[in-house]
């Protein structure tokens, strides 16, 4: 995009001279004689003359130099951003298989292509997220009724009941409000500081088949997609940051019920306990939508308590699952709660979650181009070649950090050498095999021979890159509905 640059200053000599003379009584009131013959006025006129010339020259600085100045200041011109987000995949009804989906699979929202940025093992599982929302609307008679019912669970006369309502976190809808639960708000968000993810067997699974799903999930990697709201509960807008991939910076903890032969059949006889789930990879999901990869335990680690009617949902146990159809498909509960970050790490300002779902992968609106023949070298200084597709996705400006840009020059017949992308070719040595990219225009610029090498006469140049971006990638929720890459019975 061409920069729309205004004139830095359009004042001429007379305007500058008048402005300077008007400042004399303000800054130097002792200067009482400002006639044309005064030496001080002559100095001011000389300054006005030089300033007029300098302003004229600054206003003639070409756009290329302005771009270079901005780049040196760390403010490069940005091309249109590519749409990014999360896509959750599912298996057909009745499937018990685990289908791997590699990174780079193409999914589509209508005719708009997206590429997965992470691989995912699609498991035969669905999710529903619940929170224990505090309840304060019960009348005294109803409260006393609950106290009488749960009196056996109170250990002493000072113990009291905390009332909550099991509330499902709604799915995001196009044009609708953004769902949100604040895990740190015990009064209005989650009373126990947790989001409870019900891992469910696929719809249509009979109760006697749930154990088969547990067997299929044993020792698998669960790709759990998590999206924060656009703003933290404090109102602060969350920045888009580079993916860290460091579980110690995550700020969330994941656990499954710890059940043995004693506690499974009589959960009320002991306090609920949980065991942590190992995190194999984690994006910075409390600041930007991403994926957390969890290594599930074996079959025995996915079991559930066998509750009596009055025990379910009490104490530190998972919330009451009132929907009996969902309860019949329940494999186990995954507890998600705020956890401590690595000592010394900056605390994330966000404590809220907007969406959690299984079998998720990050996607980016991107179309790959492999070994495009860009042109032929001329041997002249400052050669430029233009890629066929724009805007180019610059991997160095991608918060995902997984893009690709490879420019190769045929040094000798059949021998291709990769050249390095840099911000400023003029800052490089004469023998540096480098190039600079204008992502918006798809322009590759090479060196002059004094700063950066020149592709020699007749040397072919090819490029492997991705392009995409603009308003086409701003698709609504649930717009991605097809999988172009053939990977078996998987659908987004």
Tens digits of residue pLDDT in 258-300: 886 566 655 555 677 889 999 888 888 888 888 999 999 998 8
Q: Rounded to whole angstroms, how far apart are CA atoms 177 and 436?
A: 42
Angle subtended by helix axes 39-58 and 13-27, to nearest 10: 130
Say if CB 217 and CB 205 are below 8 A apart: no
Residue 98, judged by CB atoms within 10 A of its CB (0-12, 13-18, 19+), counts as middle
> pTM (2 decimals)?
0.75
Strand extents, DSSP E, 141-227: 164-168, 181-182, 194-200, 221-227
Cis status of the peptide bond prior to 159, with omega within 30 of 0: no
C-alpha neighbours within 13 Å on the C-beta side of residue 133 = 12
**Residue 28: how many other CB atoms lie within 10 Å:** 11
**Residue 87: how many other CB atoms lie within 10 Å:** 23
Say if CB 460 and CB 482 are below 8 A apart: no
Tens digits of residue pLDDT in 123-134: 999 999 999 888
Say if CB 213 and CB 207 are below 8 A apart: no
**Residue 8: how many other CB atoms lie within 10 Å:** 11
Q: Rounded to whole angstroms, how far apart are CA atoms 291 and 360?
A: 7
Say if CB 143 and CB 111 are below 8 A apart: no
Tens digits of residue pLDDT in 404-455: 889 999 987 778 999 999 988 888 998 999 999 888 888 999 999 899 999 9
Tens digits of residue pLDDT in 294-322: 999 998 888 888 776 667 777 788 888 88
pLDDT of res. 180: 86
pLDDT-based confidence at 219, cuts 50/70/90? very high
Q: Which tokens sit at 133?
A: 């929302």
Residue entry with tokens 């006369």:
157
Contacts of 445 (CB under 8 A, 6+ apart): 382, 383, 384, 425, 435, 436, 437, 438
Tell me the pLDDT of the chain averaged across its residues: 82
pLDDT of res. 481: 82
Q: Rounded to whole angstroms, how far apart are CA atoms 470 and 81?
A: 6
Say if CB 289 and CB 228 are below 8 A apart: yes
pLDDT of res. 1: 45
Say if CB 199 and CB 334 are below 8 A apart: yes
């Amino acid at each position: 995009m061409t920069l729309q640059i205004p004139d830095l200053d359009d004042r001429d000599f007379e305007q500058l001279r008048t402005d300077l003379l008007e400042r004399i009584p303000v800054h130097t009131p002792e200067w009482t004689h400002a006639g044309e013959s005064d030496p001080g006025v002559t100095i001011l006129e000389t300054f006005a003359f030089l300033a007029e010339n300098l302003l004229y020259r600054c206003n003639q600085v070409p756009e290329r130099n302005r771009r270079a100045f901005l780049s040196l200041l760390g403010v490069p011109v940005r091309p249109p951003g590519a749409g990014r987000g999360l896509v959750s995949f599912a298996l057909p009804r009745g499937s018990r298989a685990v289908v791997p989906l590699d990174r780079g699979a193409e999914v589509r929202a209508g005719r708009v292509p997206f590429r997965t940025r992470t691989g995912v093992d699609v498991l035969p599982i669905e999710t529903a997220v619940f929170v224990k929302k505090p309840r304060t609307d019960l009348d005294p008679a109803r409260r006393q009724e609950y106290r009488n019912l749960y009196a056996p669970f109170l250990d002493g006369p000072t113990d009291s009941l905390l009332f909550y309502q099991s509330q499902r976190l709604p799915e995001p809808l196009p044009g609708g409000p953004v769902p949100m639960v604040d895990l740190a708000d015990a009064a209005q968000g989650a009373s126990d500081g947790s989001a409870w993810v019900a891992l469910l067997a696929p719809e249509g699974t009979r109760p006697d088949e749930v154990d088969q799903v547990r067997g299929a999930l044993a020792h698998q990697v669960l790709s759990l997609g998590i999206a924060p709201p656009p703003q933290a509960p404090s109102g602060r807008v969350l920045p888009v940051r580079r993916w860290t991939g460091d579980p110690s910076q995550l700020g969330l903890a994941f656990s499954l019920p710890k059940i043995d032969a004693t506690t499974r059949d009589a959960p009320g006889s002991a306090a609920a306990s949980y065991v942590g789930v190992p995190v194999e990879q984690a994006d910075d999901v409390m600041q930007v939508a991403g994926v957390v990869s969890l290594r599930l335990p074996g079959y025995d680690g996915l079991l559930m308590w066998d509750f009596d009617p009055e025990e379910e949902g009490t104490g530190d146990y998972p919330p009451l699952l009132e929907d009996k159809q969902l309860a019949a498909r329940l494999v186990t509960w995954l507890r998600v709660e705020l956890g401590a970050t690595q000592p010394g790490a900056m605390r994330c300002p966000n404590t809220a979650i907007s969406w959690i779902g299984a079998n998720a992968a990050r996607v980016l609106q991107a179309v790959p181009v492999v070994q495009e023949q860009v042109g032929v070298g001329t041997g002249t200084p400052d050669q430029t070649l233009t890629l066929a597709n724009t805007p180019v996705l610059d991997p160095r400006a991608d918060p995902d950090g997984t893009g690709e840009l490879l420019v190769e020059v045929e040094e000798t017949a059949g021998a291709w050498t990769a050249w390095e992308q840099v911000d400023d070719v003029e800052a490089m040595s004469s023998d540096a095999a480098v190039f600079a990219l204008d992502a918006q225009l798809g322009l590759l610029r090479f060196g002059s021979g004094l700063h950066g090498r020149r592709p020699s006469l007749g040397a072919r140049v090819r490029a492997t890159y991705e392009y995409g971006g603009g308003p086409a990638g701003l698709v609504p929720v649930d717009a991605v509905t097809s999988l172009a890459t053939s990977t078996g019975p998987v659908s987004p």
